[in-house]
Amino acid sequence: MAAALAKLLTLLLAWAAAELCRWLHMPIPWMLGPLLATALVTIGGLPTGSDARLRNVGQWVMGASLGLYFTPMVVTQLLGLWWAVLLAVAWALLLGMLYGHWLFRSCSGVLPGVSDAALRPTAYFAGAIGAASEMTLLAEREGARTDLVAASHSLRMLIVVLVIPFGALMAKFWWNLEAVALPPGSGLPVTPAGLALLVLLTCAGALVMGLRRLPNPWFLGPLMVAVTLAASDTATSPVPSVLSNIAQLFIGVSLGVRFSPQFVNTAPRWLARVGLGTLGLLVCCAAFGWLLARVTGLHTATAILGTAPGGMTEMSITAKVLQLGVPVVTALQVTRMVAVLVLVRPVYRFWAARFAASREA
């Protein structure tokens, strides 16, 4: 009963924070407001809660909403940028390795109770630009300190989610940019029957992904179904904006509750270096996005958002709300996430084997 009450009060707090941020004209208020309010209250030691089912609902709504941007014209454009997508994946893997190596070198011998043998995989998977839960699971299999890996990804996510939307908003004013993406399903009305069919099909996609134990099924499943519908011009209905706002609130709450009082006490030196390193990642990714925009002709804000070291859901939401090239941002973020999940462990084992060989020599 107490847990249910805490979850209800957390949702009410999140709603009030979202309304306040909307009144203050902050970017993506329905995610940033709940995230900040929930994080501050949780760090303060007050009881908060987040239901995983609501997080799934939020991801499902956003996956379906974002997928509807992939019209036939947009898909044709993206196919012409396949090489840029692969280049962004290679960049993410390289940057993650360099960041992890820096974490290892800067923290070696300064973290009490953490040997270099445990720190090496810890730093590597903490630096990898991928999904937090999946990176933590892979790190555990390699003998890493999973608490440090999870804490680093949570802190990095918080910093990126706070910095990127304000940076993107400033970019819109700087370039006097109105929009880089048309609304999905232009001219398609919301009807009960059409929306019900969209819900049914996208939920089926999420369930299939979940049964196959694929990562992030409640986002990727609906996204893939919605992309198929939009690309084939068979979409039945857009997603109402009120559902999108509620979904962002659920996601913001689920991010905010990670920041418990115990989180603040997790190896302060480690968190300080993660925070500093995250700022460096943002600068490097912004520079790469700027170069990518020059080569591809994409808008600079779109390219930077697509290569930002944040979560695909959060970055795609930012692109949607600020209308900054949603399909390109989503394609870059999703492709990177999948590629990192597939390649990050083999790359680590290759790197670790080379390191061990050099030590023996």
DSSP string for residues in 124-182 = HHHHS-S-HHHHHHHHHHTT--HHHHHHHHHHHHHHHHHHHHHHHHHHHHHTT---SSP
Give the pLDDT of residue 202.
Answer: 92
Q: What is the dihedral of CA 200, 202, 204, 207, to 10 degrees?
A: -130
The DSSP annotation for 227-270 comes to HHHHHTT----PPPHHHHHHHHHHHHHHHHTT--HHHHTS-HHH
Spans of the chain, pLDDT less than 50: 177-179
Q: Which domains does the chain have, with CATH numbers?
A: 2-360 (1.20.1530)
Three-state SS at 51? coil
Instruction: Give the number of residues written for the chain.
Output: 361
8 A C-beta contact, residue 219 and residue 312: yes
| Other CB atoms within 10 A of residue 10 CB | 24
CB 280: neighbour CB atoms within 10 A? 14
pLDDT in tens, 17-53: 999 988 988 878 888 888 888 988 988 888 888 888 8
Q: How far is Cα 329 from Cα 307, in angstroms, rounded to an integer?
A: 8
In whole angstroms, give the CA distance from residue 83 to residue 303: 14
Instruction: Output the CA torsion 125→129→134→137 (10° steps).
Output: 10
Provide CB contacts within 8 A for 319, sequence distance 6+. Answer: 181, 302, 305, 306, 325, 326, 329, 330
Can you give the pLDDT at residue 279? 92
Nearest CA to 277 out of 103, 145, 91 is that of: 103
Q: Which of 17, 47, 43, 45 is nearest to 29 (CA)?
A: 17
HSE at residue 271, side-chain half, CA atoms within 13 A, is 16
Residue-wise pLDDT tens digits, 158-199: 888 888 877 766 665 665 544 455 556 556 777 888 889 999
Q: How far apart are CA 82 and CA 258, in angstroms?
A: 35
- Distances 328 to 126, 288, 322 between C-alpha atoms, Å: 26, 15, 14
Q: At what angle do helices 146-174 and 300-307 cross, to 10 degrees?
A: 170
CA distances (Å), 205 to each of 102, 216, 220, 237, in order? 40, 12, 8, 17
pLDDT at site 179: 46
Sign, CA torsion 321/326/329/331: positive
Determine the pLDDT at residue 31: 84
Distances (CA, A) of 170 to 24, 26, 145, 183, 322: 15, 11, 38, 21, 11
